[in-house]
Chains A and B, each alone.
Chain A
Amino acid sequence: MTMNGTHGYRPGLVDLASGQISREIFVNDDIYAEEQERVFARSWLFVGHESQIPNPGDFFASRMGEESVILCRDRAGAVHVFLNSCRHRGMKVCRYDDGNTSVFTCPYHGWSYGTDGALVGVPYFREAYRSELDKTKWGLVEVAQLCCYKGTVWANWDASAPPFREYLGEFRRFLDLILDGWDGREGQAELLGGVQKWLIPCNWKFPAENFSGDSYHNISHRSVDLVGVGPSGRSRRDMSELNASRKLHVAIPDRGHQTITYVMPKDHQPQAAYQNSPEVAEYFRHCEEERRRRPGANSRLIGAPGEIFPNVALLPRQPRTLAVWHPKSAHQTEVWRFFFVDRDAPKEVKNFLRDYYIRYSGPAGMTEQDDMENWNYAHAASRGTIARRYPYTYEMGLGHAIEDYEYEGLRMPGRVIDLTTAQASEEPMRNLYGRWAQFMEADSWDELMTWRRNDRSVAEAAK
């Protein structure tokens, strides 16, 4: 793959020194094709949640980049992720969204695979193949690495990529804000209902950028705020503790993950929330009190939109959801949105949240509709010959991020911009595209694991 051609990606399209990024990286078909190999074939990608496949034989048809994959639990209970493509002629071996099966059978010529991926059935194996085909070589293609983290399932096609926890680095605490319970217990999340899926006519990086922490676009949601879809009948959310908190942009530069987060002052007391239902309000008051009692830095954090590189969006509270921006083409993205609740939450709480989540997010959700209009029209208005000549600016807050940020004894990782008075910055977007450019330029994971080089140099200096 050439990196110096005039048609595809080339260094300079992402210029972090000036804070300018070419529109080509959003609308150029050659760059899109290159990023499938350089970004999506090498990154850890979110595949699903273990609560979707609780029993042996359960499966969920998912995606990794453009590829269809099968997340399944085999007869022995092990979790697998396979490429959903028959090894004989490539037909999909699973064409259902989810279910339970003992085998995945290709409808084309009838090759059949066990839930552990082994090729178990070949029509006329003895007669036509004369028993000479080595079935052990022709099982379903399995991902190189898989990680189940607090119920979520992540996979990577690249055996040389670092393990998932190392890939997350210090960003893990922000993912934990979704996966741990409202009361701070570890790993309480379960999927609520099915997965919302829909297509949007824009490049996948538009929503990825937005969820990286674009607080500048809040004006887009003014109408929703006025309608008052929030769980207390006002605004979009009812997190009044935010008013007493520090609002931060946190970017992990060597990983490409970034988020908005709020840090509450020490000894901050729970605020009234979920006022549309006294029962739900009481449940969350109890959870918030419990959370404050538990040791650990996250008891003072309130999660907000964030992004795990490259295409997984976090929204830890109101609504509590993960989204995946699956690339379909340079000009189309398939959005999958997963909603979460604590698995032992009362039924009334789950039902209340289902209603709230639906009216907030998804293709019919009032807030996400606003976002999609922006992304879709921005993409369309950036495709023309003239429009492509003019880069976007990401200068906001350039040079003002700090490291070793601390608030009342709570240290934040990475590079931080305090938004409490600044209101907005574009540090998260610079972080996203900086990492994206590294992936587009690096030939191997050795080049991308810059932190390991730093660790080695620190160790050598210590010697």
Chain B
Amino acid sequence: MSDPINIRDLAVGSLVILGSGAEAEIVSNPNDGVWLFARYLSSPDDPAMVGQEEMIFAQDVLEVRS
């Protein structure tokens, strides 16, 4: 199991990989340690999500790309 990611450290523009395998770009961070606002760049499970902005739950963030 990988170390948990402190999402409060993630800046706007960071790319993250989610549990579903989707990739998203952070558009704002409320710094509550629980949620991020991000835009989907890819979404293998549900291609309709691409381009949409969603709230991302901290536990869904598996990896930070940049």
Which residues does A use to contact B, with CB under 8 Å?
101-103, 105, 107, 110, 112, 120-121, 123-124
Contacts and interface: CB of A to CB of B under 8 A. Distances in A.
Nearest to A120: B55
Contact of A103 (B30, B57, B59): B30
A124 B57 contact: yes
A448 to B, nearest CB: 42
A112 B58 CA distance: 12
Most buried by A among B28, B57, B58: B57
Nearest to A106: B34
Contacts of B28: 102
27 contacts: A101-B30, A101-B32, A102-B28, A102-B30, A102-B37, A103-B32, A103-B35, A105-B30, A105-B33, A105-B34, A105-B35, A107-B34, A110-B34, A110-B35, A110-B57, A110-B58, A112-B32, A112-B34, A112-B35, A112-B55, A120-B55, A121-B34, A121-B35, A121-B55, A121-B57, A123-B59, A124-B57
Contacts of A101: 30, 32
B40 to A, nearest CB: 14
B22 to A, nearest CB: 12
B13 to A, nearest CB: 17
B57 to A, nearest CB: 5
Given A110-B34, A112-B32, A121-B57, 7 more contacts: A101-B30, A102-B37, A103-B30, A105-B35, A112-B34, A112-B35, A123-B59
A124 B37 CA distance: 15
Interface string B25-66: 000101011110100000000000000000101110000000
B10 to A, nearest CB: 15
Contacts of A112: 32, 34-35, 55
B30 A123 contact: no
A124 B19 CA distance: 11
